[in-house]
Structure formats: structure tokens, C-alpha cells
């Protein structure tokens, strides 16, 4: 079992498999001018699989594949298969924009992928195109339909809420009624602002604190006759335990509504994760520039060297992000 220097139990690894993407969401990635790193700078799938195998011997049990868009990485299903077969790994999940799921869901499921989070910030076609710059909402809807039909469980919808966007959040509450969809509202993080790349100048004022959001949705759901928004009382009622979200549900709903607050009520005290970037940097915290060179250990070293990098990162995990938001990287380079 791995513990960090603050006694937190670390069993979760988020792996960004690429910094490339088939969309260009306003808050995540600039439309143009991204300085693409050469292919050789990225970890190969074999290197990622080896890192996961070493991490599993140190107590990592759960893997989430992310990006950029993980489904644009060729061979991603092979990586899923090898991660699933790694002794000690209990679940392999993915965060995706869902666009390529209709093509790839079957092979991912057969490879052992158990769950998917699909990012969708609006149910309005024009607003979807505006936010993603390149996307067509029907493609995301087809991705969601496919995820449910393929049997991924749970299927969660990640909604980044930005005050200036005036998203119709009640529409998402409705979405949780008819199908087993677990909608999670995520506070916008003005990450890219500090390096000038993303967010259209949105600042911390564009982050709607979870408490405000819960009130807002609760009131508008009641006014629309959707019933009472009730907090789930037991972890067993949540889609997969508690995680960092607080979960609620509307009476009679098949799904739930979750609220994730990285900022207004951060969960650093319960942080259980490390992040591996596509370039092989191991990051102890989303909001820190601290990084550890896993790529060099993977390319030039033994498994013991890889383990040493992992233990260095664990030993350096900050106790909290200390309200610093923003690093030298944009979100598509970290993986969210
Ligand atoms: N392309 C995949 C997707 O969109 O789901 C995976 C990568 S994306 C970087 C992972 C998550 O980070 C997505 O749910 C996305 O909405 C979220 N994200 C990106 N930029 C963000 C920001 N500035 N604030 C909050 N969440 C953000
Ligand atoms: Fe791509 Fe996901 Fe970033 Fe959107 S949020 S640009 S889909 S990586």
C-alpha cells in the first residue's frame, strides 16, 4: 500500500496517453499554435504499460486513461487490455469526449474497460460547437448512447460549469431522470489563464462554487416540477463510492447529480492520486509545477529506477494546492 508523506493512501493513477485532441474546448486547449511535441517525446504504449505494472506493485489499484483525447491514440485498446491484466490493477476507466466511442466501444469493452466519463458541457447544439470549437453535438450524444448500450457502468457525464456561459443546467438534471446517467458538475478551473492559452480571459469569477450551484439546481428543479434534490446518504448509493464528488438525486431518477469542487471546497485532504503525462512526467499534484522524470527511468533504467521515481513523487505530494490554480501546462497536457 502506498502512502504519501501526509499519510494519504495513494491508489489511483491518471494516465494521459496523448496531448492531442479532435476538439478544441475553449477552457482546455487553444485552437491554433499548440507546439506539438515530436512522437518520440511521448511515452510508447509499452512504456506506459510498464509504468502501470511497477505502480501496481506499489499499491496503485485504479487507472484512468485520459488526454488530450485518449481515443485518438492508436492502440489504446491494447493499452487497456494490458492494464486490465496487470496484477494488482482492479479497474481501468477512461475520460473521453465520446466522439469516437461508436467506433471503438466494443473493442474497449472487450479489452476490459469498465467505465467511462464523457465530457459534455451543454445540451444545446450551437453552444456545444461554440465551446468545443470543432464538435457536433450529435456525435457526443451517439457516444453516450453507445456507452450505455455497450454496458459500461457507470456512465458519467462531466459538465464543466462556467458562469459566463450561462449553461442550461436544469437540462442536465433532466438527463439524469430517464437513463442511468450520472451527471457531475465540475467547477471551472482557470488553469490556462496563467500561461495565456485557454479560457477566453475567464477568471476565478467564472467558477461557480458548488454550494451556489447546488442551490441553483435545487431551486430550478423544484420550480420545474422535477421534485426534491436530495443528498445521497450512503456511499453504496453513489455510482462508485464517494470519490471526490458529493452526490444528490432527484426523486424517481435513474441517475444521480454529482458536484466536484476542486476549488471552493477542495478535496486535497482525501487526494488519492498521481498523474502521468503523455511525455512521461509524473505529477504529484494538478496545480503544482513539481514533476518527476518517469520517461528517463523507463527508457534508461530498471524497474527499481521507475519505482524510485514513483516514490519520489509520493514523497513530494503537497498537502494541498494552497489555492494556487494554474501551472506551466494547459489542461490537455495534464489530463484533467
Ligand atoms: N478529452 C477528454 C475529455 O474531454 O473528457 C479527456 C481529457 S480532458 C482534459 C479531462 C477533463 O478535464 C474533461 O472532463 C474536461 O472537461 C476537464 N477540463 C478541461 N479543462 C478544464 C478546466 N479549465 N476546468 C475544469 N475542468 C476542465
Ligand atoms: Fe479535448 Fe477534452 Fe480538452 Fe475538450 S476537454 S479540448 S475534448 S482534451
| Distance of alpha carbon 301 from alpha carbon 257, whole angstroms | 45
**Per-residue CA distances from 117 to 48, 52, 93, 220, 299 (Å):** 21, 20, 8, 25, 31
- Nearest CA, atom 5, ligand 1: 96
Instruction: Give yes or no for residue 96 CB within 6 A of ligand 1.
Output: yes
Q: What pLDDT, in 10s, does the model give residues 9-51?
A: 889 999 999 999 999 999 888 888 888 888 899 999 999 999 9
Q: What pLDDT, in 10s, does the model give residues 248-304?
A: 999 999 999 999 887 766 667 778 889 999 999 999 987 778 899 999 999 999 999
pTM of the model as a whole:
0.94
Closest ligand to the CA of 335: 1
Mean pLDDT of 134-144: 98
Provide φ and ψ at 184, rounded to 5°: -120, 120
Indicate if the pLDDT at residue 196 is higher than 50: no
pLDDT at 328: 62
Query: Per CATH, which fold does 12-333 belong to?
Result: TIM Barrel (3.20.20)
Instruction: Give yes or no for residue 21 CB within 6 A of ligand 2.
Output: yes
Provide φ and ψ at 233, rounded to 5°: -100, -20
pLDDT at 208: 93
Indicate if the pLDDT at residue 200 is higher than 80: no
Mean pLDDT of 187-208: 71
Instruction: Give yes or no for residue 327 CB within 6 A of ligand 2.
Output: no
Closest ligand to the CA of 21: 2
Report residue 42 as a C-alpha cell.
511521448
- Distance from the CA of 96 to the center of ligand 2, in angstroms? 8
Best of 17, 18, 21, 122 for a ligand 2 pocket test (most atoms within 8 Å of beta carbon): 21
Indicate if the pLDDT at residue 197 is higher than 80: no
Instruction: Give yes or no for residue 97 CB within 6 A of ligand 1.
Output: yes
Give the list of residues 6+ apart from residue 74 with CB closer than 8 angstroms, or none: none
Best of 76, 198, 331 for a ligand 1 pocket test (most atoms within 8 Å of beta carbon): 331
What confidence category does residue 336 fall into, taking pLDDT thresholds of 50, 70 and 90?
A: low
Amino acid at each position: 500500500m502506498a502512502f504519501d508523506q501526509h499519510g494519504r493512501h495513494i491508489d489511483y493513477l491518471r494516465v494521459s496517453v496523448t496531448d492531442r485532441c479532435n476538439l478544441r474546448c475553449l477552457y482546455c486547449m487553444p485552437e491554433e499554435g499548440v507546439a506539438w511535441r515530436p512522437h518520440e517525446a511521448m511515452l510508447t504504449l509499452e512504456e506506459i504499460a510498464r509504468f502501470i505494472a511497477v505502480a501496481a506493485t506499489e499499491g496503485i489499484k485504479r487507472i484512468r486513461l485520459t488526454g488530450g483525447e485518449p481515443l485518438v491514440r492508436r492502440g489504446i485498446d491494447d493499452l487497456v487490455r494490458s492494464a486490465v491484466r496487470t496484477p494488482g490493477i482492479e479497474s481501468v476507466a477512461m475520460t473521453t469526449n465520446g466522439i469516437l466511442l461508436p467506433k471503438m466501444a466494443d473493442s474497449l469493452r472487450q479489452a476490459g474497460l469498465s467505465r467511462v466519463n464523457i465530457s459534455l458541457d451543454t445540451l444545446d447544439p450551437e453552444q456545444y460547437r461554440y465551446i468545443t470549437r470543432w464538435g457536433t453535438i450529435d456525435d457526443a450524444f451517439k457516444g453516450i448512447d453507445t456507452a450505455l448500450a455497450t454496458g459500461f457502468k457507470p456512465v458519467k457525464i462531466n459538465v464543466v460549469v462556467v458562469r459566463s456561459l450561462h449553461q442550461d443546467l436544469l437540462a442536465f438534471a433532466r438527463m439524469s431522470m430517464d437513463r442511468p446517467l450520472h451527471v457531475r458538475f465540475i467547477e471551472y478551473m482557470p488553469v490556462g489563464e496563467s500561461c495565456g492559452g485557454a479560457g477566453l480571459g475567464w477568471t476565478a469569477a467564472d467558477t461557480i462554487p458548488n454550494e451556489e450551484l447546488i442551490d441553483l439546481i435545487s431551486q430550478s428543479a423544484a420550480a420545474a416540477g422535477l421534485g426534491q434534490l436530495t443528498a445521497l446518504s450512503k456511499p453504496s448509493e453513489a455510482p462508485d463510492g464517494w470519490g471526490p464528488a458529493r452526490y444528490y438525486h432527484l426523486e424517481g431518477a435513474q441517475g444521480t447529480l454529482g458536484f466536484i469542487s476542486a476549488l471552493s471546497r477542495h478535496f486535497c485532504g482525501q487526494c488519492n492520486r498521481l498523474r502521468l503525462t503523455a511525455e512521461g512526467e509524473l505529477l504529484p499534484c494538478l496545480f503544482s509545477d513539481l514533476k518527476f522524470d518517469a520517461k528517463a527511468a523507463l527508457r534508461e533504467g530498471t524497474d527499481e529506477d521507475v519505482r524510485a521515481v514513483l516514490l519520489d513523487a509520493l514523497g513530494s505530494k503537497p498537502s494541498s494546492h494552497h489555492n494556487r490554480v494554474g501551472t506551466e501546462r494547459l489542461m490537455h497536457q495534464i489530463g484533467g
